[in-house]
Copies of this chain bind each other. A is one copy, B any other.
Amino acid sequence: MILILKPELDSESEDRVLDRLHELGINAQIVRTSGRAVVILKSDVSEEPNHRFTQIEGVVKAVRLSPGYSLASSIKNKSIAIVASAAGYSQKQSLIGSGHMPLVMAGPCAVESAEQILEVAAAVKDAGASVLRAGAFKPRTSPYEFQGLGEEGLEYLKEASKQTGLPIVTEVLSPDKVETVAEFADILQIGTRNMYNYELLREAGRLGRPVLLKRGMSATIDELLYAAEYVLKEGNEQVILCERGIRTFESRMRNTLDLSAVPLLKSLSGLPVVVDPSHATGLRAMVRPMARAAIACGADGLLLEVHDRPEQSISDAEQAIDPGELASVVKDMVSIVLALGLGAGSGDSEESTVEENALGAVAPCASVRTLSESI
């Protein structure tokens, strides 16, 4: 870390800065540049917050040389096995991450009834999805909106998983529900509104189940990785990051899908990154083109809202596609992966060959590899 000092600080004040650092057990050196003095910290302070230093009298800015999420940034080419264990299956159904065909997680916004979720589960499986997604607990802006079926919804999801063999991803809203949801879910989803809910992140970390972590609607890339760090720090490395659109001034779509987050995240951490074009755009007709773009820039998977009768959905119907459109998206995805030559075996994958997913091992885009160095 480097500390920039106030302009024209006298030498006594400079000494006081060094003394204070010494008290904190930090080895430091003052270097002079044109008209300004800076302090170079020789000790490793990567886990210290910036304000520990900026509060020292005479310091105006602390420049961090490497990000503070040391676990997230040290993970390389992670791949995660997804198993429908909640429904009693024991073999891994799919692998997500480095070297694997992108994974499709699809399903309705909310579980509405047993019949609905069983029908949709069968339909998304037929269309090529590998994981069933649906909400039993729904966070809603208005207290008057449908808040989900709760545990009843979780039971229906388990039944759908039993019948189809599809693993389940569903959202958990508070720390005290993590264990309950984990009895039914194979991937715990931390939603965009909860990305800063650190107690929830810790609980999800402790449980050791794969976690799908959605970027907060106005979270920076660094904050998303710090959120992942909370899970990782509990010893759980099974974190899937999800870009789902950020809040900007543009109002024609619900959010602005930040696809550049995909190569950027992959350059900063080896965790898998998936994209949710449904929530990002909020418009059915945008889902397919943005899903294509997500795959083309290197996403490890897609999270898609699918309803068998979108017009009768009780939540977020504007963005749900039908199973036929899902099949088209899956077909596009495979075409793009093949076209870009991503299907070949790759030294990046942890295992030399994988056949779990539709097409086997894929190599990440070469040009992304050089990104981490330039940031």
Residues of chain B lying within 8 A (CB to CB) of residue A316: 51
Cβ-neighbour of A340 out of B63, B145, B332 (below 8 A): B332
Integer count of this chain's copies in the complex: 4
Does A285 belong to the interface (CB within 8 Å)? yes
Nearest B-chain residue to A316, judged by Cβ: B51
**Distance, CA A36 to CA B40, complexed state (A):** 11
With both chains docked as a complex, state the minimum distance between the C-beta of A50 and any C-beta of chain B, in angstroms. 9
In the complex, the answer to whether B249 meets A220 with C-beta atoms within 8 Å is yes
A371 within 8 A of B: yes
Which residue from B55, B174, B217 sits with its C-beta under 8 Å from A175?
A: B174
Q: Contact: B49 with A368, CB < 8 Å? A: no
Tell me the bound Cα distance from A289 to B249 in angstroms: 25
Interface string of A258-281 (1 = CB under 8 A from B): 111011100100000000000011
A296 and B295 contact, CB distance less than 8 A? yes
Verify B49–A142 contact, CB threshold 8 A. Answer: yes
* Chain B minimum-CB-distance residue to A199: B174
Partner pick for A139 among B41, B196, B295, CB 8 A cutoff: B196
Chain A interface residues toward B at CB < 8 A: 1-2, 4, 6-7, 29, 31-36, 38, 40-49, 51-52, 54-57, 60, 63, 65-66, 68-69, 139-147, 173-176, 193-194, 196-200, 202, 217-218, 220-223, 226, 229-230, 233, 246-253, 256-260, 262-264, 267, 280-281, 283-290, 292-298, 310-318, 325, 328, 332, 335-336, 338-341, 365, 367-371, 373-375
